[in-house]
Chains A and B, each alone.
Chain A
């Protein structure tokens, strides 16, 4: 069965600093990987997704993620964080007709 681990429960970064959120997955075949963002009281919004091809994928709001098969990782990055990026971030894995499995999330705080 698929599983997703997000090792960091909470991360605090300064505005303008770079960001990397970690995600490790477990899946027997080539997975489809996703990052979602959830602002307080809101539903989840898709940031980006990886299916195949180029292992570096670009998403909305200046985010990117890199798929590393050898490390079973799909880390999310942003070169310069804005205060509006403060939110909860979820990594998810899926394939075929199986529903997505989500990690427990990483809460991002941004300080001035």
Chain B
């Protein structure tokens, strides 16, 4: 596609529920990144895919968070047993090759856990 698409744009869920956030990167971009942005903060790295494999998942805060990219294109970030502290904007970005090319970001998914 022309840009990075993230769905849904907003998600409200109850504490303890499971959520999935989707990212559709720019066609041909091999690298895909997930970041989390809390209010008043900069984006914080969660996980990075190169192709289908997670090249670096060191930013995932705990084992409730998981992400997949089975065909090397669309990625899904999955959060189990959501907590109020998970409320944030989840940003997805893609790039051609490595980070040095600069990322193209999606508009994000605002997750609110009530």
Interface residues of chain A, those whose CB is within 8 Å of chain B, are: 4, 6, 32, 34, 36, 41-46, 49, 51, 90, 94-105
Name the one of A97, A101, A103 contacting B98, with C-beta atoms under 8 angstroms: A97
Name the one of A4, A6, A42, A46 contacting B102, with C-beta atoms under 8 angstroms: A46
The answer to whether A101 touches B4, judged by C-beta atoms less than 8 angstroms apart, is no
The answer to whether A97 touches B99, judged by C-beta atoms less than 8 angstroms apart, is yes
What 0/1 readout, one digit per residue, does chain B (94-112) give for beta carbons within 8 Å of chain A?
Answer: 0000111011111110000
Name the one of B35, B100, B107 contacting A51, with C-beta atoms under 8 angstroms: B100
Q: CB-nearest residue of chain B relative to A4?
A: B42
Is the interface on chain B under 10, 10 to 19, 20 to 34, or 35 or more residues? 20 to 34
Q: How far is the CB of B6 from chain A (nearest CB, A)?
A: 8
A sample of 10 cross-chain residue pairs with beta-carbon separation below 8 angstroms, ordered by A number, consists of: A34-B102, A42-B107, A46-B103, A46-B104, A94-B100, A97-B50, A97-B98, A98-B56, A105-B41, A105-B42
**Cα distance, A13 to B108, chains bound together (Å):** 28
Contacting A at CB under 8 A, from B24-67, are 33, 35, 40-45, 48, 50, 55-56, 59
> Lowest 7 CB-CB distances: which A-B pairs, in order?
A102-B42, A43-B105, A94-B99, A44-B105, A43-B107, A104-B42, A99-B45
The answer to whether B107 touches A104, judged by C-beta atoms less than 8 angstroms apart, is no
The answer to whether B45 touches A43, judged by C-beta atoms less than 8 angstroms apart, is no
Interface residues of chain B, those whose CB is within 8 Å of chain A, are: 4, 33, 35, 40-45, 48, 50, 55-56, 59, 91, 93, 98-100, 102-108
The answer to whether B107 touches A95, judged by C-beta atoms less than 8 angstroms apart, is no
With a CB–CB cut-off of 8 A, which chain B residues contact A4? 42
